[in-house]
Amino acid sequence: MPLVLRLVLIALLAAPVAASQPADTSADTSAVAADSLATDSALVADSAVVDTVGGAAVETLSDSAAAELDSAAVAALSDTTASVADALGDGVDVTLLGRTLFQIYGGLGDFGPQERAARLSARLGDLAQSREIDPEALRIVDGNTLTTLQVGDVIVMTVTDDDAQALGLRRPIAATQYRERIVEAVARYREQATFRGVLWGLAYSLIALAVLVVALRLLSRLFAWLDQRTAAMRRQYLRGLKIGTLEVVGRDQVSRFGRVLVGLFRLSLSLVLVYTFLTFAFSQFAWTQQWGEGLLDAALTPLRQLGAVLVSSIDNVIAILVIVVVIRWTVQISDYLFARVASGEAELTGFHAELADPTRKIVKFILIVMGIMLIYPYTPIASNRGFQGLTVFFGLLISLGSSTAISNMVAGIVLTYTRAFRIGDRVRIGEAFGDVVEKSFLVTRIRTTKNEDISVPNANVLSNHIVNYSAMARDGSGVILHTEVTIGYDVPWPTVHQLLTQAARDTPGIEAEPPPFVLQTGLGDFSVAYQLNAYTKEVTRMARLYSDMHQHIQDRFAEAEIEILSPTYGAYREGPSTVPDVDALHDVAGRLAATAPVSDTDGADAAPDPDPPPEVPGVELPRFLTGGTDGGKAE
């Protein structure tokens, strides 16, 4: 009988198979058709045995069947397979006591793929546990529309065109693969279920347990050895986390955190070893094999999914890597070029070295933002609707709430490239007067002469006029300090000029060249307004220079016994006019010019103290200025 079954199998596989359509009959009708096909095939096989001469013919027939199998496998239609697989969807697993053997895809009559898989799994379980049926007796019976796997007249499995086309094979070849897997699984189960199989399973499990214990001990010793070897390196090279001068995380805390991470890694490796041992041990016994298969699937399924995701997104990963590398190289080249410009090693026409560092930061920021925008479409979150909604929300939030911040940033960039001021300059911005201590893209901080820090938004800085005293001192002859005094008409103006300029020269920090000068800015009812102007480059001492210059003005006029009319004095005059003679004034001016010291270019010579103002003919001072009390009145 086994020889007859083999001949039937060979005859069926060697015969050409016509194109078939999916079965649409009921399961009972399919069984009847399979029985009739089996009977016809048996008759054909018997006639083949009668007509063949000896075993040589049988061997030749077997070789031709094998050749037919190989050629059919090579000639599988991949396009048809892909279309059918897409139409049918995922297959349903057929299992033998928890172990997946293969998948089926199509329905049969009133039974869907799920019901077919459940019934087939139950029949395979009965076949494996039955010692009376030899799995090698499972034979293939091919018909026009169906191919069955039978033991005698009992149908174990029916293979449809959908099942075969989903695998990309012809129906007889697909049935052959199914048969091989069933026979192998049943034989393995029966071997494990025997007493000898149990003993071998115990032996293998004990060996695996010994290997596990040795591996865990070696792992423990390895990590202990690494901890000892790296202890000195941790003490020498490990540093805490600092933000400025604030130590956020100490060195000991960083060390403990690192050891915790290493411990978690060691625990993970130990769990992997234990998990592998349990999977292997459970798979050695027939009654626990499904547990081993479950553990293996639980471990491999996430890895398969991760691998599938990586394979499907390999193009995106390559694109992201290329973008990251290009942006990184561009940033490095930009930093190198701007560093050379800032150090003076390279020059760009019309580009100042002081603009190199802020320009480098702006270019780096633009490159990074551009890289993020280029990478975003290649990330998985780009197609996530939830993330897209979140992006729209934050974009709307930023657009509504950051208009002022953006205007300040734009103003900061404009101020940077207009070079209106530098850090350390003495400036006046609106009503804020002091030294610039911080300059960012959003705000400018000024420290006043009263040691007050004023934060001015860059938009306000740009909208106000900016007076940079340091730029005048740095790029020109200096800043002009000016002050005004009022002197009576009875004092000759050349005398006042000499006293004021001498007071300016006496003030430390006032430049000798260009020399101080006096302007007569007004002729009042009772006095003349004189404005003293003096150059200085020490703009950070302006308040002190003003104070010192005012002191020297008072000292000079006090020595000359000339009263500064502040407040203004008014008097009822009883004597002659106090208007001096013009010729006498010019004569006094000439004598003063002849006796005035001449300073060299660096202002090293100091002027001697002037003589008391000369007497001017025809000028009579008021009595209240000469000590008299009659006829004078102060207002």
What predicted TM-score, i.e. pTM, was given to this entire model? 0.44
Q: Which pLDDT score is estimated for 110?
A: 76
Whole-number Å distance between alpha carbons of 9 and 441: 85
Hey, what CATH class is 477-595 in?
alpha beta
Give me the pLDDT at residue 250, please. 75
Q: What pLDDT is attached to residue 533?
A: 95
H/E run at residue 129: helix 113-129
Quote the strand ranges of 41-200, DSSP E. 92-96, 99-104, 139-142, 147-151, 154-159
Q: What tokens appear for 53 in the block?
A: 């001469």
The predicted pLDDT at position 139 comes to 81
Locate the DSSP E strands across 226-295. Answer: 241-243, 246-249
Q: Tell me, what's the pLDDT at 23?
A: 33
- The pLDDT, as a whole number, for residue 483 is 93
User: DSSP string covering 498-514, please?
Assistant: HHHHHHHHTSTTB-SSS
Whole-angstrom distance, CA of residue 541 vs CA of residue 539: 5
Write the DSSP string, 446-490: EEETTS-EEEEEHHHHHHS-EEEHHHHHHHSS-EEEEEEEEEETT
pLDDT at 367: 92
pLDDT at position 517:
94
DSSP strand pairing (241-243 vs 246-249) = antiparallel
CATH-assigned architecture of domain 408-467: Roll (2.30)
C-alpha dihedral (552, 558, 560, 565), degrees to nearest 10: 100
pLDDT along the chain (635 residues), means of 10: 39 35 34 37 33 31 38 42 50 75 79 82 76 75 82 81 82 85 79 70 88 93 86 74 70 80 89 89 74 76 79 85 93 88 77 79 90 87 76 78 78 82 86 88 87 87 85 80 91 92 92 91 90 90 91 91 73 55 63 59 44 48 43 38
- The set of long-range contacts for 118-121, using a CB threshold of 8 Å and a minimum separation of 24, is 120/94, 120/156, 120/157, 121/94, 121/95, 121/96
- Alpha carbon of 465 to those of 416, 427, 437: distances in Å? 16, 10, 19
